[in-house]
Amino acid sequence: MDKIFLKQGVRLLYERVPGNITSFTIGLEAGANSENSNNLGIAHAVEHMVFKGTHSKSEKEINDICNEYLGFHNAMTNYPYVVYYGSSLKEDFKNAFNIYFDIVFNPAFREEGFKEEMAVIIEELKEWSDDVVQHCEDFLFYETFEKRRIKELIIGREETIKALTLEEIREYHEKFYTLDNCVISVVTSLDLSEVIEIIEGEIASLNKTKPLLTHNTCEIEALEGVKPSFTQRSSERVSSRESQEEKTFSLYENPMAGVYIEENLSINGCKVQYIFPIHNLSEREVTLLQLFNEYFAGGTSSLLYDEIRTKRGLVYDIQGKVKGEKGIKLYTITLSTSKENIDLVREIIKENIDKVKALKGIFTEDFFKKYIKSQNLKRMLALEKSIVLSMHLAVYEIMHSGGELLLNEFYNLSNCTEEEILSVIDKVFIKETIGIIRN
């Protein structure tokens, strides 16, 4: 992978692959982490509104051009980032990239269609909790954090969405959609020089019609170190945003330990999620945690799956996951079981956490070889599609030390020791925080 710094601070990640498909991503650190208590959901709202038309094209023209040149295209807002991505034939890359660059950096934000698009987002919000597993996580985040943005849904609340104005949308876009906050990744068989020429051509065209789009003219508040005091509960409506003090969020805080239960008669069985904070881990330690998770709860051959699912049949599924996104950074264990089995399942999990903290002779050289190979295989399989590779390269560039970590993360592990991985386990499994949605 090549990383090139283009004009005005744009970072280009280029991965050459054979074939006739070119995939690209435009990513920005402009996700929900950048919001404050008065504009919850604005990052996601901006993602919607940029597709409503640019200064030179209507929404209908955008849709027609995307249909002509892009076999697939989409956008996504997360807490740390927003990404716009698509795939085209390599001979159509110039046209495909042109329309997406125009969408992202040159939206018109017209009154026409604004209220209707906010109504679409509110309908999306109503469907958000239909996924019970996702709802369990959202419920747990809300109950156990006080000052973090992840306490609230990425999409925001109905009252804050309704209260957003077009002027606020414009201001947010101007502040965060800047060239030196932009990462572009391209996975293609096109020569690097041709890709650079196309992208720099778009940058030059943009700057002919707009002021220099960098943070030099749009100052950004640093999220690190901010100590806000946001404690408003989501059940309380925002009656007048003008009368409320604007409050920013903390990037990290530890969840309040304990067991949090929500009764829900509309579901069958129970959904359970554990969360453990990992924002105190180094990048290497997070990678080691991923190896440990593969052994402990990462799949059908893992320790917890074998003990709880295979041997006892107490759960339908159990899965551990390392959430390394900036502003999230949690180790989670999720499972589905019956109300009658919850206490027994929790007891088995606790017993096994205690056991692994005292393990000796398990995390040997052979262990590291086996699980590094397994993680590399799974990573490469997951990135086999060029659009997935493109999107994740941009995301890793935004969230971690660089996009190259995506391809080298497990190869970078060397001289791992049992003491090192046991130290990581001790840092993670301190206090348990559990959310339960049950019937």
Return the closest-CA partner of residue 117 out of 156, 76, 162, 85.
162
In angstroms, rounded to a whole number, what is the distance separating the alpha carbons of residues 4 and 264?
51
9 sits in the region (left: phi over 0; alpha: psi -120 to 50; else beta) called left
Could you give the CA distance from residue 138 to residue 128 in angstroms, rounded to a whole number? 10
Alpha carbons 59 and 149: distance in angstroms, whole number: 32
pLDDT digits (tens, 9 = 90+) for 154-210: 999 999 999 999 999 999 999 999 999 999 999 999 999 999 999 999 999 987 656
Average pLDDT of every residue of the chain: 90
Number of domains in the chain: 2
Both tokens of 226, joined, read 């901010």
In the structure, what pLDDT confidence band is assigned to residue 231 with cuts at 50, 70 and 90?
Answer: very low
Q: So what's the pLDDT on residue 131?
A: 87
Q: How many CB atoms lie within 10 A of CB 119?
A: 12
| Final residue before a domain boundary, out of 174, 209, 244 | 209
Q: How confident is the model at residue 120 (pLDDT cuts 50, 70, 90)?
A: very high
Residues 186 and 47 in one domain: yes
**Whether pLDDT at 307 is above 60:** yes
Range of the domain at 338: 258-363+416-438
How much is the pLDDT for 225?
Answer: 33
pLDDT of residue 209: 58
Mark which of 148, 177, 209 sits at the end of a domain.
Answer: 209
Position 128 scores a pLDDT of: 85
Split at pLDDT 50, 70, 90, the class of 268 is confident
Query: Is the pLDDT at 217 greater than 80, yes or no?
Result: no
What is the model's pLDDT at position 208? 64
Q: Judge residue 88's burial from the number of C-beta atoms within 10 Å of its C-beta, 0-12 exposed, 13-18 middle, 19 or more buried.
A: buried
| Whether residue 211 has pLDDT greater than 70 | no
Instruction: Classify the phi-psi angles of 258: left when phi > 0, otherwise alpha if psi is within -120 to 50, otherwise beta.
Output: left
What percent of the chain clears pLDDT 90, i.e. is strictly above it? 83
Residue 289 and residue 333 in contact, taking contact as beta carbons nearer than 8 Å: no
Give the confidence band of 29 by pLDDT, cuts at 50, 70, 90: very high
Q: Are residues 281 and 202 in the same domain?
A: no
Lowest mean pLDDT among 13-22, 225-234, 300-309: 225-234
- What's the pLDDT at 57? 95
Instruction: Assess whether 72 and 203 both reside in one domain.
Output: yes
CATH (domain of 277) = 3.30.830.10
